[in-house]
């Protein structure tokens, strides 16, 4: 369950953000822009320039959509704070990226488990201007929509280690394209600069079989040779790959199991 609730969106697609939310947005963007410039991949930086997000106020959905529709045919779609997998995959299959219209509180300024407006807009939307990334995400949505619950669990790992926490080689350097990293100042630095996590060459079978946790810094990141690899992934039979991974079983986790309390 989440403590957050999406704000209403009017018929024109606008949200009535208040002064406190505008201030939180400003501080989140200001902080994150300081750490991404030499770490984000060029496709993300180009997309961010295209979006031209305001800093002094929360951007509005129609502003984002004007850019995305022009570049790749995508648009952002306002949703409740939590949506079902059926709804999630259905939206992606229609080239609609779900965005919960709430911003984190000051109390959870550094980290929250729910994807808020900052995470979705600042973290993900710049990459949706890239045709290879956009094509992969569209294909992923269509596959997820038709997959059963067990296969969706494996597909979730693919999404996690690409769209959310993916790294890519660029001119001999490692760069970030995953929105889960690019919306987090701590993980933006950790994913590239820390000696703690592993960074492995992207392999579809390894990725599908790698367990993850959402509430820790990632112990491993997978590295694409270039973003064209995402387009190539969208052209292979991913469900067949999932079936192979299901038969092979999961790899040993690279993290300790989360402690379960009575409250949980």
- For the entire predicted model, the pTM comes to 0.95
Q: At what angle do helices 19-36 and 185-193 cross, to 10 degrees?
A: 10
In whole angstroms, what is the distance from residue 195 CA to residue 119 CA? 25
Half-sphere exposure of 118 (CA within 13 A, CB side): 30
**What backbone torsions phi and psi does residue 86 show, to the nearest 5 degrees?**
-55, -45
What pLDDT score does 95 carry? 98
**Is residue 4 one of the residues assigned to a domain?**
no
Any idea what DSSP says for residue 161? Answer: I
**Is residue 202 one of the residues assigned to a domain?**
yes
**Is residue 10 one of the residues assigned to a domain?**
no
**Is residue 168 one of the residues assigned to a domain?**
yes
Number of domains within the chain: 1
Q: At 259, is the pLDDT very low, low, confident or very high (cuts 50, 70, 90)?
A: low
**Is residue 116 one of the residues assigned to a domain?**
yes
What pLDDT score does 264 carry? 41
Q: Where are the alpha helices (DSSP H) in the chain?
A: 19-36, 42-51, 61-72, 85-93, 117-118, 131-146, 149-159, 179-182, 185-193, 204-208, 228-235, 238-248
Which range of residues forms the domain containing residue 60?
A: 19-247
Cα–Cα distances in Å, from 158 out to 41, 44, 104, 141, 162?
19, 20, 26, 12, 6
pLDDT in tens, 205-257: 999 999 999 999 999 999 999 999 999 999 999 999 999 999 999 999 999 88
222, 201 in Cβ contact below 8 A?
yes
**Is residue 97 one of the residues assigned to a domain?**
yes
**Is residue 65 one of the residues assigned to a domain?**
yes
| CATH number assigned to the domain comprising residue 57 | 1.10.800.10
The two structure tokens encoding residue 203: 């392999």
**Is residue 192 one of the residues assigned to a domain?**
yes
């Amino acid at each position: 369950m989440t403590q957050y609730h999406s704000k209403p969106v009017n018929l024109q697609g606008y949200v009535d953000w208040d002064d406190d939310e505008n201030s939180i947005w400003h501080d989140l963007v200001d902080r994150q822009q300081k750490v991404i410039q030499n770490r984000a991949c060029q496709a993300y930086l180009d997309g961010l320039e295209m979006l031209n997000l305001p800093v002094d106020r929360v951007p509005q959905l129609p502003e984002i959509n004007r850019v995305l529709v022009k570049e790749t045919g995508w648009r952002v779609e306002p949703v409740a704070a939590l949506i079902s997998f059926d709804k999630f995959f259905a939206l992606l299959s229609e080239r609609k990226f779900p965005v919960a219209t709430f911003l984190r509180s000051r109390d959870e300024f550094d980290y929250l488990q729910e994807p808020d407006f900052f995470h979705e807009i600042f973290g993900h939307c710049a990459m949706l201007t890239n045709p290879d990334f956009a094509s992969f995400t569209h294909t992923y949505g269509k596959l997820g929509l038709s997959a059963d619950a067990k296969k969706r669990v494996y597909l979730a790992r693919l999404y996690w280690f690409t769209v959310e926490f993916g790294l890519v080689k660029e001119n001999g350097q490692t760069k970030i394209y995953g929105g889960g990293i690019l919306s987090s100042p701590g993980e933006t630095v950790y994913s590239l600069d820390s000696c703690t996590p592993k960074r492995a060459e992207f392999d579809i079978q390894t990725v599908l079989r790698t367990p993850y946790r959402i509430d820790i810094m990632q112990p491993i990141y997978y590295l694409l040779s270039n973003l064209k690899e995402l387009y190539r992934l969208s052209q292979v039979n991913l469900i067949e790959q999932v079936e192979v991974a299901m038969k092979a079983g999961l790899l040993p986790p690279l993290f300790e199991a989360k402690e379960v309390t009575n409250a949980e």
